[in-house]
């Protein structure tokens, strides 16, 4: 019997991703295909100023994109980081997975690989993103707004797939790469345990291998909700240990039975879109304070 498919995606703009992915899953398409189509809709939307086309540039005015994909059935994965002038970096990450023996290509190499494979150079700047960049340009090394689209899907055959794509922190230092293209940090998908993804301050998510941590917690019997909450606690705990303010992070997770969960730091307001049985709803994630995990 076909398994009821489900797709979840980060932030209010995740609704757009879910709207695209859910009908594909209903038609029997594989989880990863549907998740990439969903993520690409957000990459294409210039109004989303933290993903793809129209993303706020880095400190020197360049839009630099990061993305990764992972297939839960095969554990195949691919990623690109620091890519300029290529719009669909989630698809590019998939090509790295499918056409190379590597997992991660960066910068000029990733761009060269894209051009070899039919991608075209495009400006990722829009009048709005340039205006925003000028307006809020910080005087010091402060980095500002962010938000990544992470899409997790379960298809009718019971396989999981995930995608994470972002322009990263606005005003980031040139060359800075966050968690989003790092397998295990921004995304991790294993049919045998579950799928997890992240958004928020990438450095703190990398420090705890956030998505991998959540998947391993699910492997050991935690529900997606419990696992996400524990990951936020781990971030909080580390902040206490390091004597810094707890960073804003948010996690979401999905298992092979279609159970899902999400959690975020106390200081965040994180919502995510859930699509199943032809319906899409927005859910506000539970805020988690306190440490351990
Ligand atoms: N995690 C992204 C990064 O650090 C930003 C975000 O999702 O808010 O680049």
- Give exposure, 10-35, as e/b (b: 16+ Cβ within 10 Å): bbebbbbbbbbbbebbbeebbbbbbb
Measured in Å, residue 118 CA sits from the centre of ligand 1 at 28
Token pair belonging to 260: 């899902």
**Whether 148 is catalytic:** yes
- Determine the pLDDT at residue 248: 94
Interval 216-261: pLDDT, tens: 999 999 999 999 999 999 999 999 999 998 889 999 999 999 999 9
The Cα-based distances of 176 to 6, 54, 92, 109, 262 in angstroms read: 33, 18, 19, 16, 27
- Determine the pLDDT at residue 142: 63
With a 6 Å cutoff on the Cβ, whether 256 touches ligand 1 is no
Alpha carbon nearest to ligand 1 atom 9, residue: 168
- Determine the pLDDT at residue 143: 61
Spatial separation of the C-alpha atoms in residues 227 and 205, rounded to whole Å: 14
- Determine the pLDDT at residue 201: 95
- Determine the pLDDT at residue 55: 87
CATH class of 6-288: alpha beta
- Determine the pLDDT at residue 136: 78
- Determine the pLDDT at residue 254: 98
- Determine the pLDDT at residue 145: 63
Contacts of residue 111, defined as CB under 8 A and 6 or more positions apart, other chains included, come to 83, 84, 85, 86, 121
Low-confidence ranges of the chain (pLDDT < 50): none
* Of 68, 200, 207, 269, best ligand 1 pocket probe by most atoms within 8 Å of the beta carbon: 200
Residues in the chain: 293
Spatial separation of the C-alpha atoms in residues 188 and 211, rounded to whole Å: 5
- Determine the pLDDT at residue 141: 59
């Amino acid at each position: 019997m076909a398994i009821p498919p489900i797709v979840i995606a980060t932030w209010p703009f995740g609704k757009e991703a879910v709207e695209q992915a859910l009908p594909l899953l209903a038609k029997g398409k594989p989880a990863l295909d549907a998740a990439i189509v969903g993520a690409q809709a957000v990459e294409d939307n210039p109004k989303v100023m933290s993903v793809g086309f129209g993303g706020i540039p880095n400190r020197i005015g360049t839009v630099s994109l990061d993305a990764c994909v992972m297939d839960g059935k095969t554990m195949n994965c691919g990623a690109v980081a620091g890519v300029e002038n290529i719009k669909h970096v989630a698809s590019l990450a998939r090509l790295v997975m499918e056409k190379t023996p590597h997992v991660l290509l960066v910068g000029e190499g990733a761009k060269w690989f894209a051009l070899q494979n039919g991608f075209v150079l495009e400006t990722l700047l829009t009048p709005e993103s340039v205006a925003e960049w000028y307006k809020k340009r910080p005087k010091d090394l402060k980095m500002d707004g962010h938000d990544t689209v992470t899409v997790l899907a379960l298809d009718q055959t019971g396989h999981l797939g995930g995608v994470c794509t972002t322009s990263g922190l606005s005003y980031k230092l040139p060359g800075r790469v966050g968690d989003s293209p790092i397998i295990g940090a921004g995304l991790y998908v294993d049919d045998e345990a579950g799928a997890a993804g992240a958004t928020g301050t990438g450095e703190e998510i990398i420090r705890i291998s956030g998505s991998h941590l959540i998947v391993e917690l699910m492997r050991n019997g935690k529900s997606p909700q419990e696992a996400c909450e524990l990951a936020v606690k781990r971030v909080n705990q580390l902040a206490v240990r390091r004597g810094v303010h707890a960073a804003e992070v948010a996690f979401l997770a999905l298992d092979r039975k279609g159970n899902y969960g999400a959690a975020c730091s106390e200081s965040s307001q994180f919502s995510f879109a859930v699509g199943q049985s032809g319906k899409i709803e927005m859910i506000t994630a539970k805020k988690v304070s306190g440490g351990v995990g």
